[in-house]
Amino acid sequence: MPVTKLYIDKEVEDYSNVREFSSRIDLEGEIVDDQQVIFDIIQESSDPIQKAKEVIFLTRNKGAFIKKCPGTSIYTCCGYKILHIGTFCDMDCSYCILQTYFHPPIMQYFVNHIDMMTELDRIFEEKAIHRVGTGEFTDSLIWEKWTDIASKLVTKFSKQNNSILELKSKTVNIKKLENLNHNGKTILAWSMNTPHVIKEEEKDTTPLKARLRAAQKVESWGYKLAFHFDPMVFYDNCHEEYKDVVRQIFKNVSPENVAYISIGSFRFMPDLKQIIQKRFKESTLVYGEFIHGLDNKMRYFKPLRLKMYQAIVSEIKLLAPDVLVYFCMEDDEIWEKTFGFVPDKDEGLSKMLDKRVAKLCGLNKGLLI
């Protein structure tokens, strides 16, 4: 959906990348002294979430740029680190947790890149492997329409050997990445789903075939790949349709260049139900069979989850037996009944992923614990 208003924090109005952003978006930015002015305008709208997707606020990140993924001790976590380049998204997926995460939601882009690069330099000096991604609080590539942030990060990561950058997206904004010397240190990842779910629940995103063509193209540019089936949605014939998506992936790209595939089922905090019912009246997403998970999120009954997981994992293992497949936020029983093992509690999954990216992306294997 189009952005119609650009606000600029007075603290950053003289930043060079603010001027560059303003010229590319072709909107005259309004300088604000207090971000509450923007929040009030959004909140007064009949649909604040929709309104927030039409507004961009250029400002400073006043906190840490690098944060641990907000997993839980209850479910196995992958040890991923978030690079906090901005917030929210101009696409409109019904299930998006960001609709409840920010109060109010707003598309912010952080422009104090010197601070961000300084934090990256610190982790590059550590004697440890880091997997860093920008796709947790926003889509990694939506900002490519107005910035060069992805290109800057790809170049930054190319000059070190203890960390990989993951850019995760539902877009095909890859053009600027073509001629970069990435040195194998960037993984391009796509959120995947069936055509049915993309059509019904992922408004304003790119179709499955377009995502696959983009993956095929960046593979030809030497990038490694990853795919995330999260959330998987239960519906009639979903098992076969998810298996078909796996088949389409490996018709387009080589298993040898896929670092990992994550899977997880639709889950949501109870507050999200009302938002989906109000904003996506045609969606049937929240009317399935759910129970309270140990993290207080609503989840499909375990037998439903297991059936979906076992179907897709069997197809992945058939076509790409060496690709690392893992769960995002699942319990030991699900791991055991799907994969036949449970990762060690002492960062077992994190170590599995570190080992995989070290091998595939040419990181310093001496840093593996």
Q: Note the Cα 247 to chain centre separation in Å.
A: 22
Tokens of 357: 């990216």
Check residue 138 and report its DSSP letter: B
Check residue 282 and report its DSSP letter: T
Q: Is residue 44 part of a domain?
A: no
Residue 226: how many CB atoms within 10 A of its CB? Answer: 24
Task: Out of 101-105, 168-172, 333-337, pick the least confident.
Answer: 101-105
Q: Is residue 25 part of a domain?
A: no
Q: Give this prediction's pTM.
A: 0.96
Residue 63 above 80 pLDDT? yes
Residue 336 above 80 pLDDT? yes
Segments forming the whole domain that contains residue 288: 64-105+113-367
Strand order in the sheet with 130-133: 66-68, 81-83, 130-133, 163-169, 186-191, 224-232, 258-265, 324-327
- Average pLDDT on 66-86 reads 81
Question: What pLDDT sits at residue 62?
Answer: 93
The residue that leads in pLDDT, 180 or 344, is: 180
Instruction: Round to whole Å and give the CA distance between 167 and 181.
Output: 16
- Average pLDDT on 181-189 reads 98
Task: Out of 20-34, 39-53, 281-295, 323-337, pick the least confident.
Answer: 281-295
Q: Is residue 248 part of a domain?
A: yes
Q: Is residue 250 part of a domain?
A: yes
How distant, in Å, are the alpha carbons of 74, 98, 267, 329, 333 from that of 294? 7, 21, 12, 11, 13
Number of H helices, E strands in the chain: 13, 18
Q: Is residue 22 part of a domain?
A: no
Structural domain tally of the chain?
1
- Average pLDDT on 63-70 reads 88
- Average pLDDT on 333-337 reads 94
The answer to whether the beta carbons of residues 185 and 197 sit under 8 Å apart is: no
Instruction: Round to whole Å and give the CA distance between 107 and 93.
Output: 15
Cis peptide before 231 (omega within 30 of 0): yes
Q: Note the Cα 201 to chain centre separation in Å.
A: 16
**163, 63, 171: which is closest to 123 by C-alpha?**
163
**311, 177, 179, 173: which is closest to 232 by C-alpha?**
311
Q: Measured in Å, how far apart are the chain's first and last C-alpha atoms?
A: 45
- Average pLDDT on 113-141 reads 96
Q: Is residue 131 part of a domain?
A: yes
How distant, in Å, are the alpha carbons of 335, 348, 351, 352, 355 from that of 342? 6, 9, 13, 12, 17
Question: What pLDDT sits at residue 347?
Answer: 76
Task: Give me the CATH number covering residue 139.
Answer: 3.80.30.30
Alpha-carbon dihedral 321, 199, 211, 193, rounded to 10 degrees: -20
3-state secondary structure (DSSP) of residue 88: strand
Q: Is residue 346 part of a domain?
A: yes
Instruction: Round to whole Å and give the CA distance between 244 and 222.
Output: 26
Question: What pLDDT sits at residue 75?
Answer: 64
